[in-house]
C-alpha cells in the first residue's frame, strides 16, 4: 500500500498518493530503478546493444543525451557489453535488461569513467570535458534499451 498524504492549499483539501520507488543496490554501489521492464530479448555479457540514454551529474546537471530534448529525434549508440569497452556501472545496468526496457541508475565514480577510452563518450567537446573533469563524482544514467543485436 502506498502512503497517502493530505495537504491544504488555499482552503482546498487534496489527497496525494505517493508511490515509493524502490531501487536495487548492487555490490559495486550502483543503484538501479526499473522504470519499464521491457519485453524483448535480454542483454548478456558480450552482446552488442543499441540504446538511448540521458546522462546527468548527481546534482542534476545535464551532461549528455542521445535524444534531442526539443525535436525528440534520437541518435542511439551501439555498445558491446564487455569489460574493455563500456563503463562498468553502465554495463551492470544493462546486463539482464530486456529490449524495450528503461532504467534509471546512480553510478558511483569507482565504476564510472575511470579512464578516457570508456564508452559511451559524447562526440562534442563540452559534454566530453564535463564527464572527464567530473569523473570523481557519481553519475545518473537514464537508459532505454532499444535492441539486443
- Domains observed in the chain: 22-148 (3.10.50.40)
Question: Which of the two residues, 2 and 113, has the higher pLDDT score?
Answer: 113
User: 17 pLDDT exceeds 60?
Assistant: no
| Residue the block writes with cell 539482464 | 96
The grid cell for 30 is: 550502483
What is the DSSP-derived secondary structure letter of residue 88? Answer: H
Helix (H) or strand (E) holding 95: none
Please give the model's pTM, rounded to 2 decimal places: 0.83
Q: What is the pLDDT of residues 41-99, one digit of tens each?
A: 999 999 999 999 999 999 999 999 999 888 888 999 999 998 788 999 999 999 999 99
Q: What is the pLDDT of residues 120-133, one digit of tens each?
A: 999 899 999 999 89
Answer for the pair 101, 37: CB distance below 8 angstroms, yes or no: yes
Widest Cα–Cα separation across the chain: 59
Quote the CA–CA distance of 88 and 107 in Å, as a whole number: 9
Quote the CA–CA distance of 34 and 12 in Å, as a whole number: 35
Amino acid at each position: 500500500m502506498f502512503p497517502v498524504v493530505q495537504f491544504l492549499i488555499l482552503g482546498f483539501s487534496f489527497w496525494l498518493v505517493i508511490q515509493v520507488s524502490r531501487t536495487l543496490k548492487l555490490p559495486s554501489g550502483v543503484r538501479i530503478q526499473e522504470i519499464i521492464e521491457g519485453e524483448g530479448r535480454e542483454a548478456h555479457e558480450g552482446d552488442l546493444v543499441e540504446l538511448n540514454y540521458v546522462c546527468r551529474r548527481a546534482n542534476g546537471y545535464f551532461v549528455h543525451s542521445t535524444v534531442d530534448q526539443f525535436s525528440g529525434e534520437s541518435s542511439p549508440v551501439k555498445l558491446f557489453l564487455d569489460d574493455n569497452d563500456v563503463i562498468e556501472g553502465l554495463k551492470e545496468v544493462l546486463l539482464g535488461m530486456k529490449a524495450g526496457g528503461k532504467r534509471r541508475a546512480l553510478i558511483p565514480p569507482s565504476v564510472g569513467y575511470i579512464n578516457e577510452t570508456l564508452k559511451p563518450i559524447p562526440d562534442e567537446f563540452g559534454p566530453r570535458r564535463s564527464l572527464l573533469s567530473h569523473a570523481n563524482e557519481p553519475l545518473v544514467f537514464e537508459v532505454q534499451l532499444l535492441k539486443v543485436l
